[in-house]
Structure 1
Amino acid sequence: MQIESKEQLSLLMDGEFTDKNVLNDVLNDESLQSCWHRYHVVRGVMRGELHNSSLTLDISKQVAQAIANEDIYQPLTDEQPKPNEVVMPKVNTLFWVRVKDVIGKISQVGLAACVTLAIIAGVQYHQDQTKNDNGVPTLNTVPVGVNIAPVGGITQQNDQQLLEKKQYDKIRLLVQDYELQKRLNAH
């Protein structure tokens, strides 16, 4: 009956159906009145005649009804504790929880110490192996091509060192000249 009434309402709105009984049904039935209102809103939107200020939706009745029908409180099961019951943990279990935490932290520190020891031993072993091979330590911090002055300021000048110093100075001057030319040509 409701679907048939809505179809007749749509026909009446389009001007194709003129039955006075439908008008009486709309006047007496609140759901048909809201349907009539919705149909007019949809038609106005489709034709571009409806302004934003005239479009108001009243859903307060539906929200109030949904809240009233909603079951907020779930019944308590046997697994859930009663609100009046408070269970105190046993001292014995608290002690073992603390012991477990301490043992866990100690084992983490022990593992870190073992890994550190293994790394140090591995580096030392590797250094000993490379010293035997070529006489240069693995972790050589002196850059290649740089001469280190002996402790106490004692220097040994020989022809080879003088030649290397002259070559180093010549390369340094060429690099400085290159940088100067690059700056001058950049502007």
Structure 2
Amino acid sequence: MQQNENLSAYIDGEQVEGNLAEALCSSPELQQKWQSYHAVRSVMRGENVILGNDFSMKMEALLEKEEIKMQPKGIVLTLKRWSTPLIQVGVAASVCFAVVLGVNTMNLNNDDEFVQDQLILQTLPFTDSIQQVSLNLQEEIQKIEDEKKKQEELKKELDELDKVQQ
């Protein structure tokens, strides 16, 4: 541990006691740490780092050593399966309710104006009878003649009644 601290201080340019230079030359383990410390320093400074040929093998070994922790399924994922359709139905129902409520509210506010507009725009009287659409002159002439005959008959009857009463 002391050697790692001394090595880090030596890389930073501080004065180190003892024979660190001799230990660095003789120990492959310290040489490896020296290289990794320099790579970290270069990365932190934003300098280009030349990686060795064995970089990918080192990364593979480190990844294999790393413990894999499985994440437990949370309650959100468990609820998501059955709650998503319910949420969708709830949102759709809320939107429909808002639309119906809005339309009904608009109709309540404009009812008086709408009724007045209807009364103003209605120009023909409303009847329950069937109304003729096309003009058939023969039938019209016949109806007029029949009406005249009925009126004449009624006049004759009235005249006769007047005579009888006098």
TM-score by length of 2: 0.32
Of Structure 1 and Structure 2, which has the larger fraction of its residues in helix?
2
Q: Which has the higher contact order (CA 8 A, sep 6+)?
A: 2
> Which has the higher Rg, Structure 1 or Structure 2?
2
TM-score by length of 1: 0.29
